[in-house]
Amino acid sequence: MPNWFNADGRVAEVVVDDRGLQYGDGLFETIAIRNGAPRLWDKHMARLRRGCDVIGIEMPPEPELLEGVLRAVEVSNVTAAYAVAKIILTAGTGLRGYGRVTATSPSVLFGAFVANPVAVKLYREGAEVALCETRLASSSALAGIKTLNRLEQVLARSEIIGSKAFEGLTMDADNNIICGTMSNVFFVQKNVLSTAALERCGVAGVMRGHVIESLSEQGIETQLRHTTSTELSEVDEIFLCNSQFGLIPVRHCGEQQWPVGELTRTAMAALAENGIRECRL
């Protein structure tokens, strides 16, 4: 069954010359579809636009992207009530060689897939995570944005295949915990909530922004600062978030163990009220 489409709903093809394949010269967004509509659409578009600014791609009009996503969901055989859509935006085809001017004819590809809900038990009791050996390179010009250069995440995620871990946490060379392989990480220590600033590496997830905003509306601010792996033993609560599953508490990491704490529950409730139904316990 085809899963990738062009803006007009035809089955998508990509040529080998596409700079997305040649150099990872592009961006993507993975968007939760709930009840027929993309969730956190504005935040996905804001991040895509930031990415376009950084790597020099002319952002297609948002209504066209929205139409493409909805059409992909429609023409693929997935349930629009609960699905996942992906937009890939590459710098298109062009001359061989790294250099280019701003890409004004990007390749735009839309994918729609079956979404696999995470077990309710994990929301209630928390998930196990593992520290990955693969480190994230620091001081990246691409920090924060979601490019097609994702080999670090591939290597890190591949480490936990076959293990009990729901997610792997990735560090930079200084043992700062930056991200999960497919999520962002929040820490609570002495009632202070924090997450990595991501100014040097990592991906700034849209759900991370949604968590920060949703809690800020309740008067709870998130500090942007690093937590190292050795500081894990001093942390009172940890949780993960991403655009698909919303927020999931962390229960275990190696020998460390945490309860589902009060601030984590507050964050879940705030998200549940702010459109992330999975977090309603």
214-to-22, 114, 202, 220, 273 alpha-carbon distances in Å: 39, 27, 22, 9, 9
Instruction: State the minimum distance, in angstroms, from the CB of residue 66 to its own copies.
Output: 20
Nearer to its own copies, 84 or 250 (CB): 84
Q: Binding of its own copies at residue 92 (CB under 8 A)?
A: no
When binding is defined by CB under 8 A, the residue of 14, 37, 59, 192 that contacts its own copies is 14
Instruction: State the minimum distance, in angstroms, from the CB of residue 220 to its own copies.
Output: 31
Residue (of 247, 266, 207, 273) closest to 123 by Cα position: 247
Stretch that binds its own copies, among 72-80, 108-116, 212-220, 250-258 (CB under 8 A): 108-116
Q: Residue 137 carries which DSSP code?
A: P
Q: Which residues have C-beta within 8 Å of that of residue 81, sequence separation ≥ 6?
A: 34, 35, 36
Q: Computed from CA positions of residues 244, 161, 150, 214, in that sequence, does the dihedral angle turn out positive or negative?
A: positive
Q: Which residues have C-beta within 8 Å of that of residue 135, sequence separation ≥ 6?
A: 170, 171, 172, 173
Stretch that binds its own copies, among 19-27, 122-130, 217-225, 254-262 (CB under 8 A): 19-27
Q: Binding of its own copies at residue 1 (CB under 8 A)?
A: no
Residues that bind its own copies (CB under 8 A): 3-4, 12-25, 28, 55-56, 88, 90-91, 96-101, 109, 111, 113, 134-135, 137-142, 147-158, 160-161, 172-173, 181-182, 201
